[in-house]
Each structure stands twice: as C-alpha cells, then as structure tokens.
C-alpha cells in the first residue's frame, strides 16, 4: 500500500503536456466541434483527447506517427484533424478568439 504522501508526490498532473487545453479553453472549443451522432456507434475516443492530440502535433511540429501514447492512436488523430479542418472548425475558433481579443482591447 502506497502512503498518501508518496501518491501525491508521484501523481501525474491533470494536464500532462503544455499543449493540452485547459478546462476553460476546452469549454470554449467545445462549441465549435461536431456533436456526437444521434445514431450509430459511440465515439471510441473523447473529443478533448483528439483535439489535444491535434494541438500537440501542430504546436510541436512532430510527425503524426510520433504522437505520444498518452493520446489516441496516431491513425485516428490526423483523420479528425482533416475532418475538423474541412468543416471549418479551426477557422471559426480563430475568428471567435480574435473577436474576443478585440472586445477586450
């Protein structure tokens, strides 16, 4: 049995990578992502994990195949990247971010 102090010392942070979205960023980004289908098979991977994987590759510049194992499979993440890019989700997120920044200044 591990002592509580040891567990706390060795516990992984809730946000293991600097590229992962914070909870506040995730709440904003969720509005621009496709809703789960009402019929058919449920998603195997949470949308947040998929978006975190996409952002990891975009921010670090690594190849899709080098995506760390903490993210969904490397074959799945680029498929979702293409799907989101083709749907215009990234442009809508960027426009919203720019409008919010303009409102603050």
Contact predicate 33/68, CB 8 Å: no
- Can you list the alpha helix ranges (DSSP code H) found in the chain? 4-10, 23-30, 47-60, 76-87, 89-104
- Domain ranges within the chain, ordered by starting residue: 17-27+44-104
Calculate helix-pair angle for 76-87, 47-60, nearest 10 degrees: 90
Q: What is the pLDDT along the chain (105 residues), one digit of tens a residue?
A: 667 776 666 665 566 888 999 888 899 899 999 888 889 888 899 999 999 999 999 999 999 999 999 999 999 999 999 999 999 999 998 888 777 777 876
């Amino acid at each position: 049995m591990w002592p509580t102090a040891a567990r706390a010392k060795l516990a992984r942070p809730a946000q293991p990578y600097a590229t992962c979205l914070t909870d506040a960023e995730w709440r904003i980004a969720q509005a621009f992502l496709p809703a789960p289908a009402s019929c058919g098979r449920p998603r195997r991977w949470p949308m947040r994990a998929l978006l975190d994987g996409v952002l990891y590759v975009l921010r670090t510049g690594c190849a899709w195949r080098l995506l760390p194992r903490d993210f969904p499979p490397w074959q799945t993440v680029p498929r979702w990247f293409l799907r989101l890019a083709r749907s215009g989700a990234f442009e809508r997120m960027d426009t919203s971010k720019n409008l919010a920044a303009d409102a603050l200044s």
